[in-house]
Structure 1
Amino acid sequence: MSALRRLSLSGLATATAIAGVGVSTAESAPPPEPARISDVQQAARAIQGMTLEEKVGQLFVLFAYGPDAHKPDTRNTTLYGVPTPAEVVAKYKPGGWIYFNGRGNVESPTQLATYSNQLQTAAINTGLHVPMMIATDQEQGVVVRIGPPATQFGGNMAHGATRNTADARTAAAITGRELKAMGIRQDYAPVADVNVNALNPVIGVRSFSSDPQLVSDMTVAQVQGYQRDAGIMATAKHFPGHGDTRDDSHTALPTINHTLEQWNTIDAPPFKAAIKAGIDSIMTAHIVVPSLDPSGDPATLSKPILTGVLRQQLGFKGLIITDGLEMAAVRQQYGDAEVAVRAIEAGVDQLLLPPAPDVQFNAVLDAVRSGRISEQRINESLLRILLMKLKNGVLFTPFVDPAKVATTVGTPASLATAQTIVDKSVTLVKNNANVVPLNADPRKILVTGWGVSTTQALAASLTKRGATTTVAQTGAAPSDAAIADAVAKAQLNDVTVVITQKAWDTTVTDKLAKQQKLVKDLLATGKTVIVVAVRDPYDIAYFDAAPTYLATYGYAAVSMESLAKVIYGETKPTGKLPVDIPVAGQPDTALYPFGHGLTW
Structure 2
Amino acid sequence: MPSRRTVLAASAGVTAGLTVGSTAYAARPDDDKLRALISRMTLEEKVGQLFVTRVYGHSATAPDQADVDANLRELGVRSAAELIAKYHVGGVIYFIWAHNTRDPHQIADLSNGIQRASLARPRGLPVLVSTDQEHGIVCRVGRPATLFPGAMAVGAGGSTADARALGRIAGEELRAIGIRQDYSPVADVNVNPANPVIGVRSFGADPDAVARLVAAEVRGYQESGVAATAKHFPGHGDTAVDSHYGFPVITHTREVWERLDAVPFRAAIAAGIDSIMTAHILVPALDDSGDPATLSRPILTGILRERLGYDGVVVTDALDMAGVRTKYGDDRVPVLALKAGVDQLLNPPELDVAWNAVLKAVQDGELTEARLDVSILRILRLKTRLGLFERPYVSQSGVERAVGVRGHLATADRIAERTTTLLVNEGSLLPLSRRAHRRILVVGADPASPSGTTGPPTGVLATALTELGFTATALSTGTAPAPETIDRAVWAAADADAVVVGTYNVSASSSQRTLVERLLATGKPVVAVAVRNPYDVAQLPSVKACLATYSWTDVELRAAARVIAGRVAPRGRLPVPVQRADAPARVLYPLGYGLSY
Taking structure 1 as the reference length, the TM-score comes to 0.91
Distance 1:65 1:481 in 2: 42
Structure 1 residue matching 2:387: 3-state secondary structure: coil
Distance 2:218 2:159 in 1: 15
**Residue of structure 2 in register with 1:461 after alignment:** 464
Match for residue 532 of structure 2 among 526, 532, 535? 535
The question of 1:579 aligning with 2:582 is answered no
**Residue of structure 2 in register with 1:118 after alignment:** 113
Structure 2 residue matching 1:433: 3-state secondary structure: helix
Distance 1:154 1:314 in 2: 30
Distance 1:349 1:387 in 2: 12
The question of 1:519 aligning with 2:510 is answered no
**Residue of structure 2 in register with 1:341 after alignment:** 335
Cα pair distance change 1:185/1:585, threshold 3 Å: farther
Q: What is the one-letter code of the residue matched to 1:42?
A: K
Q: Deviations over 1:133-155 (max 9, x none)?
A: 10111111111111111001111
Match for residue 249 of structure 1 among 236, 243, 246? 243
Distance 1:514 1:245 in 2: 26
Deviation, structure 1 residue 517: 2.6
The question of 1:383 aligning with 2:383 is answered no
The question of 1:266 aligning with 2:257 is answered no
Deviation, structure 1 residue 585: 5.8
**Residue of structure 2 in register with 1:188 after alignment:** 183
Q: What is the one-letter code of the residue matched to 1:376?
A: A
Deviation, structure 1 residue 122: 0.9
Q: What is the one-letter code of the residue matched to 1:460?
A: T
Alignment of 1:57-76 (within 5 A): 57-70=48-61, 71=63, 72=65, 73-76=68-71
Identify unmatched segments of 5+ residues in structure 1.
5-36, 507-511
**Residue of structure 2 in register with 1:490 after alignment:** 493
Distance 1:311 1:186 in 2: 21
**Residue of structure 1 in register with 2:361 after alignment:** 367
Distance 1:525 1:237 in 2: 46
Q: Deviations over 1:470-527 (max 9, x none)?
A: 11112222233222211211222111111112223x8xxxxx5232332232223222
Distance 1:249 1:161 in 2: 26
Deviation, structure 1 residue 295: 1.1
Deviation, structure 1 residue 541: 1.2
The question of 1:95 aligning with 2:90 is answered yes
Alignment of 1:399-438 (within 5 A): 399-438=393-432
Distance 1:74 1:478 in 2: 39
Q: Deviations over 1:94-141 (max 9, x none)?
A: 111111112211110111001100011111123231011101111111
* Paired residues of 1:494 and 1:527 also in contact (CA < 8 A): yes
Alignment of 1:101-180 (within 5 A): 101-180=96-175
The question of 1:320 aligning with 2:314 is answered yes
Structure 1 residue matching 2:235: 3-state secondary structure: coil
Match for residue 213 of structure 2 among 211, 218, 232? 218
**Residue of structure 2 in register with 1:478 after alignment:** 481
Structure 2 residue matching 1:532: 3-state secondary structure: strand
Distance 1:586 1:318 in 2: 44
Distance 1:86 1:497 in 2: 50
**Residue of structure 1 in register with 2:20 after alignment:** none
**Residue of structure 2 in register with 1:555 after alignment:** 552
**Residue of structure 2 in register with 1:20 after alignment:** none
The question of 1:55 aligning with 2:46 is answered yes
Identify unmatched segments of 5+ residues in structure 2.
1-11, 13-27, 447-454
Cα pair distance change 1:127/1:586, threshold 3 Å: farther
Q: Deviations over 1:402-451 (max 9, x none)?
A: 23312100001111111011101010000112110112316111111112
The question of 1:566 aligning with 2:557 is answered no
Structure 2 residue matching 1:397: 3-state secondary structure: coil
**Segment drifting more, 468-477 vs 573-582:** 468-477
Q: Deviations over 1:547-598 (max 9, x none)?
A: 1110011211111111111111111111100110111264432111101100
**Segment drifting more, 564-573 vs 480-489:** 480-489
Distance 1:517 1:103 in 2: 39
Distance 1:156 1:541 in 2: 21
Distance 1:181 1:77 in 2: 30
Taking structure 2 as the reference length, the TM-score comes to 0.92
Structure 1 residue matching 2:443: 3-state secondary structure: strand
**Residue of structure 2 in register with 1:204 after alignment:** 199
**Segment drifting more, 512-521 vs 413-422:** 512-521
Q: What is the one-letter code of the residue matched to 2:266?
A: K
Match for residue 41 of structure 1 among 32, 36, 39? 32
Q: Deviations over 1:39-58 (max 9, x none)?
A: 11011000100011100000
* Paired residues of 1:198 and 1:587 also in contact (CA < 8 A): no
**Segment drifting more, 44-53 vs 100-109:** 100-109
Q: Deviations over 1:211-257 (max 9, x none)?
A: 000000000000110012x1110000000000000010110110000
Q: What is the one-letter code of the residue matched to 1:317?
A: D
**Segment drifting more, 537-546 vs 316-325:** 537-546
Structure 1 residue matching 2:379: 3-state secondary structure: helix
* Paired residues of 1:110 and 1:403 also in contact (CA < 8 A): no
Distance 2:219 2:267 in 1: 12
Distance 1:436 1:388 in 2: 50
Distance 2:317 2:70 in 1: 22
**Residue of structure 1 in register with 2:346 after alignment:** 352
Distance 1:585 1:139 in 2: 33
CA RMSD of aligned residues (A): 1.4
Structure 2 residue matching 1:304: 3-state secondary structure: helix
Alignment of 1:267-282 (within 5 A): 267-282=261-276
Q: Deviations over 1:526-545 (max 9, x none)?
A: 22110001111111111222
Distance 2:240 2:410 in 1: 37
**Residue of structure 2 in register with 1:308 after alignment:** 302
**Residue of structure 1 in register with 2:6 after alignment:** none
Structure 2 residue matching 1:43: 3-state secondary structure: helix
In percent, how many aligned pairs have the same letter?
Answer: 50
**Segment drifting more, 512-521 vs 140-149:** 512-521
**Residue of structure 1 in register with 2:4 after alignment:** none
Q: What is the one-letter code of the residue matched to 2:58?
A: P
**Segment drifting more, 537-546 vs 271-280:** 537-546
Distance 2:502 2:586 in 1: 25
Q: What is the one-letter code of the residue matched to 1:591?
A: L
**Residue of structure 2 in register with 1:86 after alignment:** 81
Distance 1:580 1:208 in 2: 13
Distance 1:281 1:180 in 2: 16
Structure 1 residue matching 2:383: 3-state secondary structure: helix
Distance 1:589 1:381 in 2: 48
Distance 2:574 2:194 in 1: 16
